[in-house]
A and B are shown apart, each in its own frame.
Chain A
Amino acid sequence: MKSLQRFWHRNSPQLFLGELLEKRWMEPIIPFTLTIAVFLAFALTIPRYTSLGNLQQLMFNFAEQGMVAIAMAFSVLSGGIDLSVGSVFAMSNFLALYFYLILGLPLPVMIVAVLAFGALMGAVNGGMIAYGKTRPFLTTLVVLIIVRAAYNKVTAAFTDELASINSESPVWDFMGGGTILGVPTNMAVLIVVAVATHFFLTRARPGVHIMAVGSSRKAARHAGVNVKWALFSAYVISGALSALAGIFYAARQNSSGTDTGVGWEINALAAVVLGGISLAGGRGTIARAMMGAAIIFMLISGMVQTGISGNFTTATIGIVLLIAVGFNVKWVKNKGKVLQKVYVVPSWVDFEPPPSIARDSGTVFAENDRLRDAEPIALNQIEGPEDIILDRDDHLYTVNRNGSIIRFRAPDYTVREEFARIGGRPLGLAFDRDQNLLVCIAGMGVYGVKPDRTVFKVTDRTNRTRTRLKDDSRLYLADDLDVAPDGKIYFSEATTRYELTDWALDGFEGRGNGRLICHDPATGTTRTILKNLTFPNGVCIAHDGKSVLWASTWLCRVYRYWIATEKAGTCELLIDNLPGYCDNINRSSDGNYWLAFVGLRSPVYDLAMANPGFRIRMVKQIPPDEWLCPGINYGCVIKFDDKGNVLESLWDPGGTSHPTITSVREHKGYLYIGGLENNRIGRIRLPNADPGWEAHKSYWGAA
């Protein structure tokens, strides 16, 4: 039972769900599925629904409604609404017939004139809404009534002429009933219009301005967008597209009835909302409007084909609209909250009781005061020195929270200078053979600084995990790195699911979200070598250069990954069940390794790690400052040897001057201490250490 639970929590489907919700293509997937479902439902219930003839007929009937839906989409994306599309469509239908067949104007002239009429109606709407500051809904509603009344009047006046029209023009007939490669002409035009408007809204400046005004009027104004003009143009385009639909409808039907275009604005609105275009404006695409239109169209035409009364269809459209709008409003408002609730998926981690750290316990971890009197360097001149490193000339380099590398000049480290400013949050540091300072930067990747201070990018992406939904090719949280003798850079990425600011959330998850990555400067390739690691943190090449030591913070373990010898490519556990959460590992002068503890384990937190349900409730139900957290108000550093035996520990009890130690670096008989949140770098004299040892020599030899 317990192993089953463990399995469930370690492979929770919620993980998939959380990453799914993050995907941008998730929003249109609902209308997309619905479109397919409605189509399949009618394909199964109506005989010969999928026959070529029927499909062609459906496309003929759909095209104009699709254009009207795009017209509606324009106004809704601009943050308003255009209810006049139905009546402008009807009036354009009449005008097309009137100009072309009754007045006998040439076809191009007629098309231009009718489009101009649509644009004019749009200009009336847009003029009042953008420049007169009226409400879009009411304004366009009134325009709808006026145009509709005018339409009824003129069609009544020209009943006889309209009844007797017939066209001899093959072009006109082709527009109405022809096909291009089997696709009806009007459908082909709809496709062209849809693609064109899509590119207009996403790639062209005026279109992007419309979207910007729709998503935030104020932000658009502050960004220098001409808000009124953008709104105005959206309505003009909306009117012109409705007119275009009217022209094709006229070519197809050659008639202008009393019910032409009645209720089309409602259908278009339902289509747009159902497609998931937000009524709040600015969110949505033309493709989604098309999907919504297809759903509404198939529903209505399918109901007609199955013989359901028109009243029932009206009720259905009304109810569908209510549900779609209600869902839309709630979804827009709560999506972030849902994602937040679903995203954190704690795993199940079992711990054994750690070795005692009590002062009188006699273990190697027994608390002492050896770090208490560390001499402060750069006190209050540095913010969060996560890692520190010293070069051949004894200068001290460290990282600062504001994204810069700070250098303190030897010998007394009182002169502070900004060595390089890269940005992001720099973390782990290492020197390569050529004295380039390599640095892991959270949110950016791995960068380097040459001795002449020029900054260069080492790598910011690795190969993507194909089986995973989330695109993990970009480096999220590169943490620490080291350089192997052959020049390859090994670095850890702590987690691929959270930003640096949310590192604690990754801790609550306790899942293998991180990875160990290798970059080869010789070929310029970056490959992930180990994945699903639980917060891999410190990385250090062993003294013999044949393996990489890396620490897993949340599992309190140190691993060894072989890069040479016959075991190359395998990973083995070196130290298990440490009493603290491991951070950076660095070489010591006596052939051993220093390891920093960022925090200490506590029995309560260990218990919580074996209870994912508890952690889910904690994250969901109480505010972050009430959360149970790993104890990070301690300062502790240990030393271990090549076989994984812990040799000694150095303590700053209570972390008064060095809490949350993330890095220790030995240099010429001194031990330098850095912390993620600290305001200083500490230094203590190591009594038994080789006073001439420096890491650079240990890595690259005396030269």
Chain B
Amino acid sequence: MPRGAEAARLRKPSQTMAVLAMCVVLIVVFSIGLNGFLTVGNLLALARNISILGILALGMAVVVIGRGLDLSQVASFAASTAIAIIIMNAGYPTGLAVLVGLVLAIVIGILNGFLISVVEMPPLLTTLASSLAVLGIIRTTAVQHYVVYLAKGHDDFLRIGGNLWNGVPVPILIFGAAAILLHLFLSRTVLGRSIYAHGDNPDAARLSGIATRPLTMMEYAISAGIGYVGGVVMIAETALMHLQVAESTLIFDVIMVVVLGGVSLVGGRGNVMSVLVGTLLIGVLLNGMTIMDMDVQTQNIIKGLVLLVAIVLDSYLHPRDEETSKQGD
């Protein structure tokens, strides 16, 4: 049996490589078929566009590797960056404002983790409900209307969303730095390996002495924290936070990136490389669809279909035992 399983695994292509190959094909097709795809300007724009998605996906990957899912990531960064903007506008130092937002995001993450690990609620429902609650609360208390604008005079802050002198966008550098740091964390630290153990088999992880409840809270805190970094980059690029982003399909783009790249929803699989590849594929796809001048709804339909294929593929490549799986998945 082990030999057979090993052979079967060898025969199945690594998902990351498969996606990378798809990426290459897509780039080649778009380069040939679409005018203006293979230009420096478009490639830099592509890099800028995928960096926020990539940063968010890095955070999501941590939770998914730990066999969870964080549907509240976008809502939580939208809420916390909105608070950060309000504090900046009130004249407090930029650093302090950003820090307060970060703390808020992490608190939301820890609360999610608490409900999931201690109250033992299904992650999907918990984060779905908590995103509703967070958005509702932030809109009744702090942000009456959807949009918060960053007041003038924060040029230093806005540089985060700008370009370097030779046209390289700063966000892509932040994405790169975040990817390297997360890679080191996941592959070189005990905590990082524990996340893999937790996702691979939560019961075994708990029985072998890993404190899975605090670990779960940490996973969701990291997801929210990295998500907040993505949110900061977003407001640095646009100088505003539009809360409707939380009602958009951005969160599904993030999940799509993660799942497509090979971070399986069964947990314990995939790495930062998977996220990078997934981000590239989705980035190329979105860029191509934008060049083709598709409207948002059509894009959503196509993205949805791609995600459905990804989910079916994932359940084929990484089957789970649905007779013992937790409900609400």
Q: How far is the CB of A223 from chain B (nearest CB, A)?
A: 13
A415–B300 Cα distance when bound, in Å, is 84
Check B327 against A322 for contact (C-beta < 8 Å). Answer: no
Which residue of chain B is the closest to A231 with respect to CB atoms?
B322
A residues less than 8 Å from B156 (CB atoms) = none
With A133-B319, A317-B132 in contact, is A142–B311 under 8 Å at CB? yes
A137–B311 Cα distance when bound, in Å, is 11
B232 contacts A by Cβ under 8 Å: no
Among B133-141, B215-223, B280-288, which stretch is in contact with chain A?
B133-141
Check B328 against A279 for contact (C-beta < 8 Å). Answer: yes
Interface positions of A from 117 to 162, Cβ below 8 Å from B = 128, 132-139, 141-143, 145-146, 148-150, 152-153, 156
A318 contacts B by Cβ under 8 Å: yes
Q: How far is the CB of A272 from chain B (nearest CB, A)?
A: 11
A152–B248 Cα distance when bound, in Å, is 13
B255 contacts A by Cβ under 8 Å: yes
Q: Residue A146 contacts which of B128, B295, B301 (CB distance < 8 angstroms)?
A: B301
Check B312 against A311 for contact (C-beta < 8 Å). Answer: no
Check B126 against A322 for contact (C-beta < 8 Å). Answer: yes
Q: How far is the CB of A563 from chain B (nearest CB, A)?
A: 58
A599 contacts B by Cβ under 8 Å: no
A67–B97 Cα distance when bound, in Å, is 47
A134–B309 Cα distance when bound, in Å, is 10
- Binary per-residue interface labels of chain A (288-332) against chain B in the complex, 1 for a CB within 8 Å, 0 otherwise: 000000000000000000000101111111110110011001100
B residues less than 8 Å from A346 (CB atoms) = none
Q: Residue B122 contacts which of A150, A221, A325 (CB distance < 8 angstroms)?
A: A325
Which residue of chain A is the closest to B71 with respect to CB atoms?
A141
Q: How far is the CB of A232 from chain B (nearest CB, A)?
A: 14
Q: How far is the CB of A440 from chain B (nearest CB, A)?
A: 43
- Binary per-residue interface labels of chain B (105-141) against chain A in the complex, 1 for a CB within 8 Å, 0 otherwise: 0000000000100011110111011111111110110
Check A319 against B126 for contact (C-beta < 8 Å). Answer: no
B244 contacts A by Cβ under 8 Å: no
A266 contacts B by Cβ under 8 Å: yes
Q: Residue B311 contacts which of A139, A312, A326 (CB distance < 8 angstroms)?
A: A139
B residues less than 8 Å from A135 (CB atoms) = 265, 311, 315, 329
A residues less than 8 Å from B327 (CB atoms) = 79, 279-281
Which residue of chain A is the closest to B266 with respect to CB atoms?
A135
A134–B264 Cα distance when bound, in Å, is 12
A residues less than 8 Å from B180 (CB atoms) = none
Q: Residue B322 contacts which of A143, A217, A313, A326 (CB distance < 8 angstroms)?
A: A217
A81 contacts B by Cβ under 8 Å: yes
Interface positions of B from 150 to 169, Cβ below 8 Å from A = none
A residues less than 8 Å from B128 (CB atoms) = 266, 321
A329–B297 Cα distance when bound, in Å, is 37
A502–B153 Cα distance when bound, in Å, is 77
A527 contacts B by Cβ under 8 Å: no
A218–B134 Cα distance when bound, in Å, is 38
A333 contacts B by Cβ under 8 Å: yes
Which residue of chain A is the closest to B136 with respect to CB atoms?
A315
Check A138 against B311 for contact (C-beta < 8 Å). Answer: yes
A266–B125 Cα distance when bound, in Å, is 10
Check B136 against A142 for contact (C-beta < 8 Å). Answer: no
A residues less than 8 Å from B296 (CB atoms) = 149
A residues less than 8 Å from B301 (CB atoms) = 146, 149-150, 153
- Binary per-residue interface labels of chain A (209-231) against chain B in the complex, 1 for a CB within 8 Å, 0 otherwise: 00000000110010000000000
Check A137 against B137 for contact (C-beta < 8 Å). Answer: no
Interface positions of B from 304 to 322, Cβ below 8 Å from A = 304-305, 307-308, 311-312, 314-316, 319-320, 322
B residues less than 8 Å from A134 (CB atoms) = 311-312, 314-315
**Secondary structure call for the B interface:** helix
Which residue of chain A is the closest to B310 with respect to CB atoms?
A142
A624–B219 Cα distance when bound, in Å, is 41
Q: How far is the CB of B115 from chain A (nearest CB, A)?
A: 7
A residues less than 8 Å from B311 (CB atoms) = 128, 134-135, 138-139, 142
Which residue of chain B is the closest to A138 with respect to CB atoms?
B311
B323 contacts A by Cβ under 8 Å: yes
A residues less than 8 Å from B39 (CB atoms) = none
B residues less than 8 Å from A149 (CB atoms) = 296-298, 300-301, 304
A266–B136 Cα distance when bound, in Å, is 14
Q: How far is the CB of B206 from chain A (nearest CB, A)?
A: 16
Q: How far is the CB of B205 from chain A (nearest CB, A)?
A: 20
Check B136 against A329 for contact (C-beta < 8 Å). Answer: no
B residues less than 8 Å from A128 (CB atoms) = 308, 311-312
Q: Residue B298 contacts which of A153, A311, A333 (CB distance < 8 angstroms)?
A: A153
Interface positions of B from 264 to 299, Cβ below 8 Å from A = 265, 295-298
Q: Residue B119 contacts which of A146, A221, A316, A326 (CB distance < 8 angstroms)?
A: A326
Max chain A Cβ within 10 angstroms of own Cβ: one of B69, B129, B134, B249: B129
A329–B308 Cα distance when bound, in Å, is 29
A residues less than 8 Å from B126 (CB atoms) = 322, 325
Which residue of chain B is the closest to A151 with respect to CB atoms?
B297
Max chain A Cβ within 10 angstroms of own Cβ: one of B119, B120, B128, B139: B128
With A135-B265, A321-B129, A325-B126 in contact, is A315–B119 under 8 Å at CB? no
Check A315 against B133 for contact (C-beta < 8 Å). Answer: yes
A99–B72 Cα distance when bound, in Å, is 38
Q: Residue A321 contacts which of B125, B304, B323 (CB distance < 8 angstroms)?
A: B125
Which residue of chain B is the closest to A328 with respect to CB atoms?
B121
Q: Residue B125 contacts which of A156, A279, A309 (CB distance < 8 angstroms)?
A: A279
With A138-B265, A146-B305, A314-B139 in contact, is A153–B295 under 8 Å at CB? yes
Check A133 against B315 for contact (C-beta < 8 Å). Answer: yes
B residues less than 8 Å from A133 (CB atoms) = 315, 319-320, 322
With A153-B298, A322-B130 in contact, is A315–B122 under 8 Å at CB? no
Which residue of chain A is the closest to B139 with respect to CB atoms?
A311
Q: How far is the CB of B87 from chain A (nearest CB, A)?
A: 21
B residues less than 8 Å from A279 (CB atoms) = 122, 125, 327-328
A152–B304 Cα distance when bound, in Å, is 14
Q: How far is the CB of A123 from chain B (nearest CB, A)?
A: 14
Interface positions of A from 454 to 511, Cβ below 8 Å from B = none
A79–B324 Cα distance when bound, in Å, is 12
- Binary per-residue interface labels of chain A (188-224) against chain B in the complex, 1 for a CB within 8 Å, 0 otherwise: 0000000000000000000000000000011001000
14 contacts across the A-B interface (CB closer than 8 A): A134-B312, A135-B265, A146-B301, A150-B297, A279-B125, A309-B140, A314-B139, A315-B135, A318-B129, A318-B134, A319-B133, A321-B128, A321-B129, A322-B121
Residues of B within 8 A of A (CB): 69, 115, 119-122, 124-126, 128-137, 139-140, 249, 252, 255, 265, 295-298, 300-301, 303-305, 307-308, 311-312, 314-316, 319-320, 322-323, 327-329
Residues of A within 8 A of B (CB): 79, 81, 128, 132-139, 141-143, 145-146, 148-150, 152-153, 156, 217-218, 221, 266, 269, 279-281, 309, 311-319, 321-322, 325-326, 329-330, 333
Sample of 8 further A-B pairs with CB below 8 A, known A139-B308, A149-B301, A326-B115: A134-B311, A137-B125, A138-B265, A145-B300, A146-B304, A146-B308, A329-B121, A329-B122
Query: What 9 pairs between A and B have smallest CB-CB spacing?
Result: A315-B136, A318-B132, A318-B133, A149-B300, A146-B304, A314-B136, A311-B139, A321-B129, A153-B297
